[in-house]
């Protein structure tokens, strides 16, 4: 019995020291893992944040470039027929959009859907205006028709507003 008490006299403090050390080390390593995780997230954000901001900038530029008023100013050629100009306008919208397809990676699904709708609505508007002209119409006639039938609250403007709000929410 004395031997058992003597053994317990050394064993119990050793077990208490082991449990204490185990608990402290477990908590320490847990905190270190959390710090490492936060550090990795911060490092990823340092890389991805500029890419996201650049994507929003490029998409805003896309929307500005395909808005009818800006598109006409940039693409207009007085020597073209309305039919030729119609083709050039729709091609310019599609090329702008295709050039920025990869940017959808950085914006919400809703924002990208609005951008696709803006592209489609712009093409439909151009097609509609071109369909109202006769065969002898010039590019100037088509430009005038597109601007005359200008739409104040276009899908392009709605997408721009939504995108700006999303960017402000994400970065400010």
Q: Are 130 and 91 in contact (CB under 8 A)?
A: no
Give dist(CA 141, CA 143) in Å, integer.
5
- pLDDT tens digit sequence for 100-118: 999 999 999 999 999 999 9
Give dist(CA 5, CA 1) in Å, integer.
6
Q: Are 133 and 142 in contact (CB under 8 A)?
A: yes
Can you name the residues that pair with 138 across neighbouring β-strands? 81
Q: Are 90 and 64 in contact (CB under 8 A)?
A: no
* Per-residue confidence band for 21, with pLDDT thresholds at 50, 70 and 90: very high
Of residues 52 and 3, more confidently modeled: 52
Cβ neighbours around 134 below 10 Å, total = 7
- pTM as predicted: 0.75
pLDDT for res 137: 92
Q: Which of 62, 74, 68 is nearest to 151 (CA)?
A: 68
DSSP letter string, 104-168: GGGS-HHHHHHHHHHHHHHHHHHHHHHHTS-TT-BHHHHHHHHHHT--TT-HHHHHHHHHHHHHH
Q: Are 143 and 85 in contact (CB under 8 A)?
A: yes
Cβ neighbours around 170 below 10 Å, total = 14
Give the pair of three-digit tokens for residue 15.
């077990």
- pLDDT tens digit sequence for 67-104: 988 999 999 988 999 999 999 999 999 999 999 999 99
> Does the structure show a pLDDT above 80 at 132?
yes
> CA angle 32-24-36, nearest 5°?
5
Give dist(CA 104, CA 163) in Å, integer.
12
């Amino acid at each position: 019995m004395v031997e058992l008490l003597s053994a317990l006299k050394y064993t119990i403090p050793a077990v208490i020291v082991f449990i204490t050390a185990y608990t402290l080390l477990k908590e320490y390593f847990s905190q270190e893992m959390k710090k490492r995780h936060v550090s990795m997230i911060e490092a990823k954000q340092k890389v991805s944040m500029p890419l996201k901001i650049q994507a929003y900038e490029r998409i805003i530029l896309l929307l500005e470039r395909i808005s009818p008023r800006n598109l006409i100013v940039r693409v207009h050629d007085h020597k073209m027929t309305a039919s030729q100009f119609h083709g050039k306008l729709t091609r310019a919208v599609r090329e702008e959009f295709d050039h920025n397809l990869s940017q959808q990676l950085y914006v919400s699904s809703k924002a990208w859907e609005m951008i696709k709708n803006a592209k489609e609505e712009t093409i439909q508007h151009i097609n509609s205006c071109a369909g109202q002209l006769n065969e002898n119409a010039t590019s100037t006639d088509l430009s005038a028709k597109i601007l005359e039938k200008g739409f104040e609250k276009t899908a392009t403007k709605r997408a721009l507003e939504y995108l700006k709000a999303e960017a402000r929410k994400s970065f400010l």
